[in-house]
Structure 1
């Protein structure tokens, strides 16, 4: 979860302008296996996401997240994992502290925005339970060797580094494409050659790189998000990665080559980037608008003049460590130099125009091997749990009445 601030509560007036879901609030909005998501839960989650300024917050995204919550609850119940009231309360207090509030202040602010305390409690309970489940299920498979720690230390040093040649396939990860994407993932997993993988990229990928068979230029490994870096380092040239699941996309990579470089490649401490949301999703009109804006800007500051008369949620400027950036966004930023733009990804019904403002390198510090080990283990657990959740969704019976 990315940090939040108390200033988010000023959007209360906007929240009350959200759809009221006039039908019976307790009628089913979605059935997930044997569990039900009500219209009321859907409206509550959308309000909660809007208070947190979740990028692309809309009814479709709220529904998808609640579906994943139900799948997680099924897995937790099957594993016999439950949380005590004290554990949940502690989790709620920790989350509230990110807004520089205590729990009472935070829940009062949520109430003013029309969000029930129980909605916040359910959100925290599922998140904590899933984290415990992922550690228990995938922890034994996520162990890290000393050689992997050595490699990470070498990458973080200024004594050179690695660069990689990748081919990518990007598949849509939305309900309307779920069955099609699952079939295509199964086809791609059977590929054994670079030519066949590139052909699949041309046929299936939704990334602009499909026009060149998904082939990317050389990338410094340090540019990649930590989770994707771990995926790439586990591959030999010619091998294909397991699917990497993002919010709206599934990424699959083939490693074509990897080589050492003499150029300095310090570890990236933070990325400074801007996101401008364009209505229309992956449509011709949205892409034309993105091209028009791209032609008018040279730096991230130029976006503020584009957005000056628009609602504030249309433009976000963030400085985040790579580990807190969604993997699909991180991958797009990895391809960019400061001042360059990508308009490939969507969130809900909005096209995301991403602009890289700058990269902040890590300063030299004493090496803590145990901290590096923990970071690598957490990255691996996150990747394994995301893949498992995608499998649960593909096997689930999901019905919208």
Structure 2
């Protein structure tokens, strides 16, 4: 009797002892081999969990698998090239990524940990991205050249030495939270691969928060010199039919499709300051708020008229000032570029879409002795855009050559 009891107890204990290691072993066993580099079940689960928190579009499990395979390929290329990041570079990358959600790196890590995602999962995600950037710079920087004609055309356009106007389409993707940030980044990256105006227009109608969405994002002709300085440089790297990389603006990501560009020898002025007024209307883009904006538009001809509109209301409902072009928020600067003095728009919101901005251009002050952008800065910008194009082709080649075994 005692023997049977002990034997039964031994079997029970043995089963309990063996069950735990098997579970742990299954969790950390390789499920994919990429050029002999393992991807474990744990990594897949963690990445899928992180992508779910980021609300990345599509199946998070499939996307996690694709990302981890691609990252192993990138890291293998880095190993062959002898490129290894130090911890400081990775930490800086984590801080930069967290900053997109208006968090510090520590706050971002804590937020992920609260949802079951380890710091190492986030760290390796960032490490792979930065490492790949270093690989592509090392491999392609020497192959990329920027000609004198490239620089001359860009410099003339940026400084008003020639008149350049562009025909753009736009997509504005609002980013409202940490979870929203990665989803919109993934969506924007997909849109940036658009190969035709019709494809970009379809994405604009489906996803864009800009008033131009109903027109497929189509904007009217705009002088390049009226665009924000950073956006000018981006547009100058595009050819007709190309899409910009996603551009971070206040609370959103923006993409631009270049439909056409025209250049003449007639110079357009540069401005040292732009004066504008913003009247804030509660309700966002609700019918009531838009009706109020229409009422205001009918009451004003110049910016001074807005003081009468705001009379008796809290001072913060009306802001008016003069700023250098580079100091103006990108979305407001882009909107002002469409306006002449005395014209207004109600296309922008604040407070996560809860406040409608009635924006009015008061005037522009010409720049008399404007500073030219440095040749080095402009050359580096154009060069980086071309390196990225090489990098995408290189990754496709590496993926085709990789030995990928899924278990």
Q: TM-score, normalised by structure 1?
A: 0.56
2:234 maps to 231
Q: Distance in 2 between matches of 1:325 and 1:252?
A: 19
2:388 maps to none
Q: CA offsets, 1:222-262, max 9 Å, x none? A: 01000110110111110100111111222110001111124
1:362 maps to 367
The 3 A distance-change label for structure 1 pair 240 and 158 is: closer
The 3 A distance-change label for structure 1 pair 377 and 153 is: closer
How far apart are 1:375 and its partner, in Å? 6.7
* Alpha-carbon contact 2:160-2:225 (below 8 Å) kept: no
1:162 maps to 164
* Alpha-carbon contact 2:272-2:365 (below 8 Å) kept: yes
Q: Which residues of 2 match residues 1-400 of structure 1 at below 5 A?
A: 67-71=101-105, 150-155=152-157, 159-175=161-177, 177-178=180-181, 181-348=184-351, 349-364=354-369, 372-373=374-375, 376=378
Query: Secondary structure, in 3 states, of the residue corresponding to 1:343?
Result: strand
How far apart are 1:221 and its partner, in Å? 0.4
How far apart are 1:328 and its partner, in Å? 1.0
How far apart are 1:339 and its partner, in Å? 1.3
Q: Distance in 2 between matches of 1:206 and 1:66?
A: 19
Q: Distance in 1 between matches of 2:288 and 2:344?
A: 18
How far apart are 1:333 and its partner, in Å? 0.8
Query: Secondary structure, in 3 states, of the residue corresponding to 2:311?
Result: coil
Query: Secondary structure, in 3 states, of the residue corresponding to 2:167?
Result: strand
Q: Distance in 2 between matches of 1:146 and 1:73?
A: 46
Query: Secondary structure, in 3 states, of the residue corresponding to 1:256?
Result: strand
* Alpha-carbon contact 1:169-1:205 (below 8 Å) kept: yes
Query: Secondary structure, in 3 states, of the residue corresponding to 2:102?
Result: helix
The 3 A distance-change label for structure 1 pair 360 and 276 is: same
Larger radius of gyration: 2
The 3 A distance-change label for structure 1 pair 294 and 374 is: farther
Q: Distance in 1 between matches of 2:275 and 2:299?
A: 20
Structure 1 unaligned spans of 5+: 1-31, 33-63, 76-135, 384-401
* Alpha-carbon contact 2:245-2:255 (below 8 Å) kept: yes
Q: CA offsets, 1:300-325, max 9 Å, x none? A: 11111101211111111111111111
Q: Distance in 2 between matches of 1:154 and 1:66?
A: 33
* Alpha-carbon contact 2:157-2:164 (below 8 Å) kept: yes
Query: Secondary structure, in 3 states, of the residue corresponding to 1:345?
Result: strand
* Alpha-carbon contact 1:276-1:315 (below 8 Å) kept: yes
The 3 A distance-change label for structure 1 pair 204 and 265 is: same
* Alpha-carbon contact 2:167-2:258 (below 8 Å) kept: yes
Structure 2 unaligned spans of 5+: 1-49, 51-97, 110-133, 386-407
Query: Secondary structure, in 3 states, of the residue corresponding to 1:344?
Result: strand
The 3 A distance-change label for structure 1 pair 344 and 72 is: farther
The 3 A distance-change label for structure 1 pair 303 and 167 is: same
* Alpha-carbon contact 1:156-1:266 (below 8 Å) kept: no
Q: CA offsets, 1:253-277, max 9 Å, x none? A: 0001111124431122211111111
Q: Distance in 2 between matches of 1:156 and 1:179?
A: 33
